[in-house]
């Protein structure tokens, strides 16, 4: 970099890139549970079916609907019981809460009562550290607890590596929701530095918001022709890496020397939600700094 020359700043036209998520209170007519793998097990009441009622659903922040069993329906949320919305009743506002794939809170059955999905519900994690979780493939894992019936298993794998084969039965609960971040991206227009001999690109900086657990990152491409070709790359010059600014207004240095002495450039910007898909970053502007 020739520090005797003035840095030039490209002020990108303001862009706003959003991943929006709304919370709807509803009873779905179609379950998110897998039509084949939808069974949990308890030694006292036997199989618990999360599919046949056609309304058991997993959302990013909660479960809704109810499952069926030999002792009757097991409601997962007070707003979607077999008797409708009972959240204003004597039992209060209860449900199974989904926090990025870790479940907590209470389900209800008229015969056996409350079912806890997490030791934190009962403040006993120091002595009995149990929970029900959903992995990145949508598989339920772990145990729930009921004072009368005991442990409820959501996956035969809970019993150990051979629990699903011999001498056990291959059962599990799978659904279409899984805890992973959603990513959106935008590719910029082609920009001209107006430097006939090309420019030395210095840094990228964006303005916007980046809530905890979310991400904003870039790839950069340059060419001596306004028609490209365009090869988007990160710091090591490959498509497998990214420029990751620490936050809004904090520049990240463009280190790849393949961009030196190029006249035209583009960038690709990525934004990523948190794994629970409750928060999304926003980008309102992008600046590229270069030396002529």
Widest CA span in the chain: 81
Question: What is the distance between the alpha carbons of residues 158 and 135, in angstroms, rounded to a whole number?
Answer: 13
One DSSP character per residue, the chain reads --TTSPPEEEEPPP--------------SS--EEEEEEEEEETTTEEEESSTTS--EE-SSBEESEEB-TT--EESBGGGBTTB--TTSTT-S-BEEEETTEEEEEEEETTTEEEESBGGGTT-TTT---BEEE-TTSBEEEEEEETTTEEEESBGGGG-TTTTSSSS---BEEES------EEEEE---EE---TT-BEEEEEEEEEE--TT-EEEEEEEEESSTT-----B-TTSSTT--B--SSTT--EE---GGGTTB-EEEEEEEEE--TTS----EEEEEEEEEE-
- Which residues are within 8 A (CB) of 41 and not within 5 positions of it... i.e. 6 or more apart? 47, 48, 152, 153, 156, 171
Domain 8-19+182-291 has CATH 2.60.120: yes
Supply the pLDDT for residue 73.
Answer: 97
Supply the pLDDT for residue 28.
Answer: 40
Supply the pLDDT for residue 175.
Answer: 94
Cα of 149 vs its chain's centroid, Å? 33
pLDDT < 70 positions in the chain: 1-29, 159-163, 165-168
Give yes or no for a contact between 140 and 76, defined as CB atoms under 8 angstroms apart.
no
Write out the residue limits of the CATH 2.60.120 domain(s) in the chain.
8-19+182-291
- Which residues are within 8 A (CB) of 270 and not within 5 positions of it... i.e. 6 or more apart? 183, 184, 185, 215, 216, 217, 218, 219, 242
Supply the pLDDT for residue 125.
Answer: 96
Question: What is the distance between the alpha carbons of residues 178 and 188, in angstroms, rounded to a whole number?
Answer: 31
Structure tokens at 91: 């039992």
pTM (two decimals): 0.65
Supply the pLDDT for residue 210.
Answer: 93
């Amino acid at each position: 970099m020739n520090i005797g020359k003035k840095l030039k700043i490209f002020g990108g036209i303001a862009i706003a890139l959003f991943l929006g998520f709304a919370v709807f209170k509803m009873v779905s007519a179609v379950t998110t549970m897998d039509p084949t793998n939808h069974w949990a097990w308890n030694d006292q009441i036997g199989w618990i079916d999360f599919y046949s009622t056609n309304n058991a659903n997993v959302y990013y922040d909660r479960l809704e609907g109810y499952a069926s069993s030999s002792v009757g329906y097991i409601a997962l949320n007070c707003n979607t019981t077999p008797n409708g919305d009972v959240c204003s009743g004597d039992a209060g506002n209860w449900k199974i809460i989904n926090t990025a794939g870790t479940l907590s809170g209470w389900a209800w059955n008229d015969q056996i009562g409350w079912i806890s999905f997490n030791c934190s519900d009962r403040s006993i994690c120091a002595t009995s550290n149990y929970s029900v979780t959903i992995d990145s493939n949508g598989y339920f894992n772990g145990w729930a607890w009921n004072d009368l019936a005991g442990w409820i298993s959501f996956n035969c794998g809970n019993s150990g590596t051979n629990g699903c084969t011999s001498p056990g039965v291959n059962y599990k609960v799978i659904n279409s929701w899984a805890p992973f971040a959603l990513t959106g991206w935008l590719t910029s227009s082609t920009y001209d530095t107006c430097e006939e001999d090309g420019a030395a690109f210095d840094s990228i900086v964006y303005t916007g918001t980046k809530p905890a657990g979310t991400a904003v990152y870039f790839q950069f491409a340059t060419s001596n022709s306004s028609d490209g070709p365009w090869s988007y790359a990160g710091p090591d010059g490959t498509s497998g890496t990214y420029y990751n600014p620490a936050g809004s207004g904090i520049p990240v240095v463009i280190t790849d020397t393949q961009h030196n002495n190029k006249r035209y450039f583009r960038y690709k910007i990525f934004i990523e939600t948190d794994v629970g898909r409750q928060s999304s970053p926003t980008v309102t502007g992008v600046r590229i700094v270069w030396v002529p």
